[in-house]
Amino acid sequence: MIELQDLSFSYDNSKTILNHISLSFGAQKQRVIGIMGHNGSGKSTLFLNLVGILKPTSGQILVDNHPIKYNKKGLRQLRRKIGIVFQDSDQQIFYSIVKDDVAFALRNLKLPEEQIEKRVEKVLKQLDIWPLRDKPIQYLSGGQKKRVAIAGILVLNSEWLLLDEPTAGLDPDGRQRMMILIKQLVANGQKVILSSHDMDFMYEACDYFYLLGKGHIIKEGTKDVVFDDEEVLKANKLNQPWLIKLHQKLGLPLCNNSQELFALRDHIHVDNL
């Protein structure tokens, strides 16, 4: 469990980005947690606090009941527990060749080379980038780079994965692959925290949500609770997911995804269309 206790953060003293936030990720056995908020609401800042790159101005973060330690050893332990995939893949790609980049963190951990090769191969195949293994990273597309960045974190097999805008810049196929990957991670027992402006993606991928605005958690809950109020979403520059709109405006059952909705087609009747 990751617990934020009265956490505040500001980059300089002029503006508080996160303001006395207390919450527990994973307390209710959620597997995929969505952080929503408009541009500049502090989602990435929150993620950077969770992985110890930024340190709270006040308050603290506990991981499995232990406060984060900001020394070298403490941060190394934290990285094995919580992995982050940044919004901008270039921020976390170091090596020039795909397979070396993905192996980087494992080599730092001084694992046996044979084990490293096996883990790298498994992850590259899982993400469908095995054929790119010997390619220099600078020749990859944005979507391919994103997958390399994800691979570099997946090999660590951390309990928690933070995905900051994982669908940004991806085509519909890449978006669909990302959804499948999240489901695979959950099936593998891992937990995910993700942020995105793609409300339809968030709706389908996540089982619990936090809406961040003006430094506070404005709303939290399951999809039926958090997407219920269109005005609150609008005020935070977010759209209602289309499945919620169909439910609210046409009285259709609230479905978790399009397949669930289409499976109902013989049983639903829409008046006044």
Ligand X SMILES: Nc1ncnc2c1ncn2[C@@H]1O[C@H](COP(=O)(O)OP(=O)(O)OP(=O)(O)O)[C@@H](O)[C@H]1O
Summarize as ranges the residues that interact with ligand X (CB under 6 A).
11, 17, 37, 39-45
CB closer to ligand X out of 43 and 219: 43
Of the pair 41, 158, the CB lying nearest ligand X is at: 41
Q: Are 2 and 25 in contact (CB under 8 A)?
A: yes
Judged on CB neighbours under 10 Å (0-12, 13-18, 19+), 207 is middle
Residue placing its CB nearer to ligand X in the complex, 43 or 145: 43
Using the minimum distance from each CB to ligand X, give the nearer residue, 129 or 161. 161
Would you say 37 or 241 has its CB closer to ligand X? 37
Separation of first and last alpha carbons in the chain: 47
> Which residue type does 112 have?
P
Residue 106 CB, shortest distance to ligand X, in Å, is 29
At CA 141, angle to CA 139 and CA 146, rounded to 5?
115
CB of 39 to ligand X, least distance (A): 4
Q: In the complex, what is the shortest distance from the CB of residue 15 to ligand X, in angstroms, rounded to a whole number?
A: 7
Minimum CB separation from ligand X for residue 168, in Å?
A: 9
Q: Please name which of 243, 215, 214 lies closest in space to residue 227, comparing C-alpha atoms.
A: 243
CB contact at 8 A, 148 and 174: no
CA gap 67, 89 in Å, rounded: 29
Nearest distance from C-beta of residue 47 to ligand X, angstroms: 8
Q: Which two tokens stand for residue 61?
A: 């973060």
* Residue of 82, 222, 241, 219 whose CA lies nearest to 153: 82
